[in-house]
Amino acid sequence: MDVQRAQQIYESKDTIPVHLDDGNSVWIENVDIANKMATVQVGTSPTDTMTVSVDRLQEQKFQ
């Protein structure tokens, strides 16, 4: 995912499914545009957060 799309998802009022490249569902909590990094919540635990490159984020596409 590119950093602009990550920022759009972060700012969206809609719930947009996002996964890490390892398959874990995540919720974007913050996007660092300059460094192309995102802080994400993994799963449902609000204390389980990590900072990853936005390149690792994948938007789930509906078919």
Phi, psi of 51 (to 5 degrees): -105, 125
Per CATH, the number for 3-58 is 2.30.30
Report the side by side order of strands in the sheet with 18-20.
49-53, 37-42, 25-32, 18-20, 57-59
Tens of pLDDT along 2-13? Answer: 999 999 999 999
Q: According to the model, what pLDDT value does residue 60 have?
A: 84
Q: According to the model, what pLDDT value does residue 11 have?
A: 97
> What DSSP state is assigned to residue 62?
P
Tens of pLDDT along 10-37? Answer: 999 999 999 999 999 999 999 999 999 9
pTM (two decimals) = 0.86
